[in-house]
Structure 1
Amino acid sequence: MKLTELNLHHFRNYDEAQVEFSPQINVLIGENAQGKTNLLESIYVLAMTRSHRTNNDRELIEFGKDAAQIKGNVQRELGSLKLELDIGKHGKKAKANHLEKARLSEYLGQLNVILFAPEDLALVKGAPTVRRRFIDMEFGQVSPKYLHDLTQYRDILKQRNRYLKQLQSHEAQDQLYLEVLSEQLAAVGGAIISQRVKFLSELEGYAQKLHQSITQGKEKMTFEYSSTVKDAATLTEVELSEALMELYQQNQAKEIFQGTTLYGPHRDDVRFLINQKNVQTYGSQGQQRTTALSVKLAEIDLMKNQTGEYPVLLLDDVLSELDGARQTHLLKTIQDKVQTFLTTPGLSDVARNLIKEPRIFHIRDGQIIPEKQPELKTEVFYPTKQDKTANKE
């Protein structure tokens, strides 16, 4: 999967922009506040229909304008695909090959991306919400069923929490309706946990190999799914749903008193263990960064296995956060494997020596300036008298 061309119209600080990309590594060089991260963000938004930097779509539109548009040409194994995302005051519209999708969820998966930004180093030491968001965003790209179940779960959860608050304030008294909502939530909640456990098991396999390579076999990394359901990783989907329903029944009074749902996948977490020790708690900063790097890079192979194609990799100023050894491992992993977009104020000597034939773009005040590619040196051959004689013979 490759993004061959991108067109921006009133997106962030880009009034109009059109650019063609290399199928290998594209380096976006620029100082702060010039637009290099905005360009990377536009690719993410085109793929995910939402930004990783803001929940306010209005911020994606150029100041003083009413709407923004992102267009992209994607080359997939089955052929080319034209994507278009319109962002306006009244929401977003997404099209694939000029056909508008009724729901944004139907559009997801047309262009798969993996984003690795400095804040992703908080994947390990950050709050559980960071890891849940990671799971939902990444797995939702490759599994329409997971995305559907997650959307359904969030809708039911919102209804159930609203009704719990009404019961808490005595605005409502019908606990039969609460039981109906609990049954619905438990059914889809069990499906979500079951899928998460399977996805994480596969991701763990890829991450272990990468982590052992980075640490030269000195460390073994494992994942542990931490759930409000006891022994969740060992239960079937049906058993998970039954266990959730039992928790809702046993703790009904407690949930009404607090006015919120206390059990389910929206409360779950993932622990990363290094040699059986929780790296969030006991790991050094170096171990935490190596773990985050291994997990993010493992997504590349996971998506390839799930979809049949490699995703597009977006690296937002990550090199400056990694030491030489981790830079080397990152760049060797992606070289000749996945189309990559890398933002940086400037390339380090390590990066310049490792990246083969990058296409470099300089970003200045919302302008994309391709760096002139070095011309191939050609030697002019002037035949001697002896050569001419030989040719005639």
Structure 2
Amino acid sequence: MNIKNIILHNYRNYVQLDIDLSPNINIFVGYNAQGKTNIIEAVHFAAIGISHRTRNDSDLIYWQQNEANINIKFAKMRIVSELKIILKKNQRKQLIFNGENIKQKELPGLLTMILFSPEDLMLIKGSPLQRRRFLDIELSQISLLYYNQLVQYNKILLQRNNLLKKIKENNKLINMLDMWDEQLAKSAAFIVDKRLKNVDKLNKLAQYTHAYISGDKERLEIKYNMCKNNINLSADIKYNQLYDWYINNLKKYRKNDIFKGSTSIGPHRDDIYFFINDIDLKSFGSQGQQRSAVLSLKLAELELLKNETGEYPVLLLDDVMSELDNNRRNSLLEFLQKKNIQTLITATDKSLFDDNGKNNFFIIDNGKVV
């Protein structure tokens, strides 16, 4: 995957930006609040249709303007394509791929990327929501079927929760839960089946990467935790086993769910656990160990997407290099250069990088490249 050109019009603080990128490492340098992250955000938005910084698309439109455009030309499997996104205030975004309008559900996987930001350094000790979102973004770029099933699951979950609240006031509606339980169980089993297989692959890749980063002193292990599970979880578990478990346990916790007005089990409640040498990294790991584990996870994610799609995704490193110590920073840059992974990096300090002719520098000043 290789981005050739980015054009932004009335996007954030860019009235007009038109830049060609190197197929290797591209570094955007400037003071804070000059617009470096806006470029990273635009690529992220083009890849999955949402920003990692806001849920309101109108926030992306330049002040006092009614419309913004993102236009990205990229090569995938050596085939050059063009993706254009038109944002209008109080209207749905328009997605155009190679001149044809497409729907949101068709977007994930066209332009694949991995984002590594300072927030990701909190991935291990942060909330389960962050870890679930990490998995869902990755899997959605690998499989449109997963993305669409995830959207469907959230719709079913909303309907079931609404019904639970109504049942609390009118118990005669309780029989309607059987229909929603069956739909939820089918969707949940599909999602968890895919997540388990994905975590198993990530675990193997991250173990190899982390052994390299730690000098073979640490063994990283990643495990998927299914909320309130009482079955042996592994990548070999069958869809039918997961479906049966959900059917039985949705009934088991039904009374509690009605009381609370929300569904207590499902993929929306699950989590991922990290261990270093069999020690829980979230509870007992040092900050350095946690950061090394996240770095290993991101590098493993790169390899996994390559294995699944046939090529490396674009890597977005948003203000993360200064957060890593010299050893981790050098290991990361060495890995990226060795693998020829196209990378977009934002930084305030140019001295963090070698000016060796291999790195492509852009100086960003108040929404302009100077």
Normalized against structure 1, the TM-score is what?
0.91
Whether the 8 Å CA contact 1:95–1:107 is kept in 2: the answer is no
Contact 1:222-1:273 within 8 A present in 2 as well: yes
Q: Which whole-Å CA distance do the structure 2 matches of 1:177 and 1:212 have between them?
A: 52
> Where does 1:98-109 land on structure 2 (aligned, <5 Å)?
98-101=99-102, 103-109=103-109
Using the TM superposition, give the Cα deviation of residue 78 of structure 1 relative to its aligned residue in structure 2, in angstroms: 4.3
SS in 2 for 1:173: helix
Query: What residue identity is the alignment partner of 2:269?
Result: R
> Which residue of the partner structure matches residue 110 of structure 2?
110
Aligned equivalents of 1:176, 1:219: Cα separation in 2: 52
Residue number in structure 1 paired with 2:19: 19
Give the C-alpha shift of residue 366 in structure 1: 0.6
Is 2:90 the partner of 1:87? no
Q: Provide the residue aligned with 2:342 in structure 1.
A: 339
Q: Distance in 1 between matches of 2:249 and 2:191?
A: 16
Which consecutive segments of 4 or more residues in structure 1 shift more than 3 A? none
Are 1:223 and 2:222 counterparts? yes
The structural deviation recorded for 1:356 is: 5.4
The DSSP-based 3-state class of the residue aligned with 2:70 is: strand
Q: Give the C-alpha shift of residue 256 in structure 1.
A: 0.5
For 1:367, the equivalent position in structure 2 comes to 368
Secondary structure (helix, strand or coil) at the match of 1:364 reads: coil
Deviations 1:7-54 (A, max 9, x none): 111100001111111010101001011111111111111111110011
* 210-219 or 221-230: bigger deviation: 221-230
Give the alignment of 1:74-223 within 5 angstroms: 74-88=74-88, 89-101=90-102, 103-170=103-170, 173-223=172-222
Equivalent pair of 1:152/1:188 in contact (CA under 8 Å): yes
Q: Distance in 2 between matches of 1:317 and 1:356?
A: 21
- CA–CA distance in 2 between the matches of 1:169 and 1:65? 47
Q: 1:232 to 1:147 in 2, by over 3 A?
A: farther
**TM-aligned CA distance change 1:74 to 1:232, over 3 Å:** farther
Question: Quick one: distance in 2 between partners of 1:343 and 1:53?
Answer: 15
Q: 1:87-139 deviations in whole A, cap 9, x for unaligned?
A: 112111111101111x2021211100100011100111101111011111111
- Aligned-pair CA distance for 1:212: 0.4
Map 1:369-388 → 2, pairs under 5 A: 369=370
The normalised TM-score by structure 2 is 0.96
Q: How many angstroms apart in 1 are the aligned matches of 2:238 and 2:51?
A: 35
Any idea what SS the aligned residue of 1:249 has?
Answer: helix
Map 1:41-80; keep pairs closer than 5 Å: 41-80=41-80
Deviation larger for 266-275 or 245-254: 245-254
Match of 2:287 among 285, 288, 300: 285
Partner of 2:250: 248
Cα distance in 1 for residues equivalent to 2:295 and 2:158 = 34
Cα distance in structure 1, aligned partners of 2:21 and 2:268: 39
Structure 1 residues without counterparts, runs of 5 or longer: 370-393
Larger radius of gyration: 1
Task: Show structure 2 runs of 5+ residues with no match.
Answer: none
Distance in 2 of aligned mates of 1:302 and 1:272:
18
1:176 Cα shift? Answer: 2.1
RMSD over aligned Cα, in angstroms? 1.2
Please tell me whether the aligned partners of residues 166 and 173 of structure 2 are also in contact (alpha carbons under 8 angstroms): no
Write the letter of the residue equivalent to 2:309: T
SS in structure 2 of the partner of residue 365 of structure 1:
coil
Equivalent-residue separation in structure 2 for 1:233 and 1:307 (angstroms): 26
Instruction: Find the residue that maps to 1:94 and give its secondary structure.
Output: strand
Q: Residue type of the partner of 1:221?
A: L
Match of 2:274 among 272, 293, 313: 272
Q: What residue number does 2:239 align with?
A: 237
SS at match of 2:124: helix
8 Å contact kept, 1:232–1:240: no
246, 259, 262: which one aligns with 1:260: 262
Give the CA deviation at 1:232. Answer: 5.3
Deviation for aligned residue 1:57: 0.9
Which residue is 2:359 aligned to?
A: 358
Output one character per residue of 1:199-229: Cα deviation in whole Å (capped at 9) or x when no partner: 0111111111110001000100111111123
CA apart distance, 1:310:
0.7
Structure 1 residue identity aligned to 2:221: T
